[in-house]
């Protein structure tokens, strides 16, 4: 049974993940890390586990097989390097690192440590990205609109960035849509950020969890593909899948589709 350490256990995704791990029969929640912690233990459902403010101390005390990271872009690289260097495999949901950065980070891995990173852990969002890649071949125009809660630290989202790159890689027809040349003076950005040439628009407001739609257009038709996460419970099947499979992967793997048999 793999022992799991949750980094960012006090956050929304971290606490939800800790409860899901504690409830799983084939995984063991062994501890959590929260740099602002003022107590030495925390509760995940009916399970109480030790709580640490320092990752190195947590790794030494808990001796986990896998670290799950849901922290923030400012500390995630340090967390991954620390865990991999200690021979601990990592499952990472924190976005903000490019695949080039991840490849460089993985060079510090020791033993059988593996690194799995997912821009999105919801199976529906992964399917949405795959459907968008399929559609991209047949439409000249494509735009991504992503909508998240107002506490999200990065824009665009990791899901939107990956979606845009998948579309760009699969796209065969030249776009006919106007670009930034149509933006009014003093209102630059109206056409969104270009990610691999695909316009991406980010909405941040209270009331949302995580939502994305991809709009495709060609003469006489449009196609909209949309996914909505209305509760963080939607991420848990993907998180548990990654934790169960990461140690059987080969080195660095990015994208839940690789574990779902979709790619």
Quick count: other Cβ atoms within 10 Å of Cβ 258?
16
Q: Note the pLDDT of residue 263.
A: 57
Q: In the chain, at which residue ranges do the beta strands (DSSP E only) sit?
A: 2-7, 27-33, 41-44, 47-52, 66-69, 89-92, 115-117, 141-148, 193-195, 198-204, 210-218, 221-229, 252-254
Collapse the DSSP code of 8 into the 3-class scheme (helix H, G, I; strand E, B; otherwise coil) and give the result: coil
Query: CA 144, CA 146: separation in Å to the nearest integer?
Result: 6
Contact 7, 79 (CB under 8 A): yes
> Would you put residue 181 in left (φ > 0), alpha (ψ -120 to 50) or beta?
alpha
Query: CA 79, CA 158: separation in Å to the nearest integer?
Result: 18
> Which domains are assigned to the chain?
2-117+232-260 (3.40.50.720), 123-229 (3.30.360.10)
Quick count: other Cβ atoms within 10 Å of Cβ 73?
13
First-to-last alpha carbon distance for the chain, in angstroms, is: 28
Q: Note the pLDDT of residue 37.
A: 85
Q: Note the pLDDT of residue 246.
A: 97
Q: Record the tokens describing residue 206, joined without a space.
A: 């209270």
Using CB atoms within 10 Å of the CB of residue 68, give its burial: 0 to 12 exposed, 13 to 18 middle, 19+ buried. Answer: buried
So which residues are the catalytic ones? 148, 152
Task: Output the DSSP codes for 181-234.
Answer: GGSPTT-TTTT-EEETTEEEEEEE-TT-SEEEEEEEEETTEEEEEEEEE-SGGG
Query: CA 60, CA 183: separation in Å to the nearest integer?
Result: 55
Residue 124 host element (H or E): helix 123-136
Query: CA 60, CA 64: separation in Å to the nearest integer?
Result: 9
Beta-sheet pairing, 41-44 with 66-69: unpaired
Q: Note the pLDDT of residue 46.
A: 87
pLDDT tens for 207-240 read: 999 999 999 999 999 999 999 999 989 999 999 9
Report residue 31: phi and psi, to 5°. Answer: 170, 175
Q: Note the pLDDT of residue 118.
A: 92
Q: Which pLDDT tens digits describe the chain residue by residue (263 residues)?
A: 999 999 999 998 999 999 999 999 999 999 999 998 888 888 888 899 999 999 999 999 999 999 999 998 889 999 999 999 999 999 999 888 888 999 999 999 999 999 999 988 999 999 999 999 999 999 999 999 999 999 888 899 989 999 999 999 999 999 989 999 999 999 999 999 999 999 999 999 999 999 999 999 999 999 999 999 999 899 999 999 999 999 999 999 999 999 998 75
Measured between alpha carbons, how far is residue 125 from residues 46, 57, 203 in Å?
Answer: 30, 35, 17
Q: Note the pLDDT of residue 56.
A: 96
């Amino acid at each position: 049974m793999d022992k799991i350490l949750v980094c960012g256990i006090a956050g929304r995704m971290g606490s939800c993940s800790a409860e899901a791990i504690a409830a799983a029969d084939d995984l063991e929640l062994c501890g959590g890390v929260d740099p602002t912690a003022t107590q030495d233990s925390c509760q995940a459902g009916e399970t109480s586990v030790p709580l640490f403010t320092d990752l190195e101390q947590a790794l030494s005390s808990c001796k986990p097989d896998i670290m799950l990271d849901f922290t923030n872009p400012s500390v995630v690289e340090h967390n991954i390097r620390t865990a991999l260097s200690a021979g601990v495999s990592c499952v990472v949901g924190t976005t903000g690192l490019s695949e080039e950065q991840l490849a460089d980070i993985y060079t510090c891995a020791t033993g059988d440590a593996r690194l799995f990173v997912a821009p999105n852990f919801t199976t529906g969002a992964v399917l949405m990205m795959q459907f968008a890649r399929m559609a991209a071949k047949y439409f000249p125009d494509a735009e991504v609109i992503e909508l998240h809660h107002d506490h999200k630290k990065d824009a665009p989202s990791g899901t939107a960035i990956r979606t845009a790159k998948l579309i760009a890689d699969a796209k065969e027809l030249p776009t006919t849509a106007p670009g930034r040349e149509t933006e009014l003076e003093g209102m630059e950005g109206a056409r969104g950020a270009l990610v691999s040439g695909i316009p991406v628009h980010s909405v941040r407001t209270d009331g949302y969890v995580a939502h994305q739609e991809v709009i495709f257009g060609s003469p006489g038709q449009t196609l909209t593909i949309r996914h909505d996460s209305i509760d963080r419970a939607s991420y848990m099947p993907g998180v548990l899948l990654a934790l169960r499979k990461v140690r059987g992967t080969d080195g660095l793997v990015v994208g839940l589709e690789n574990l779902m048999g979709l790619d």
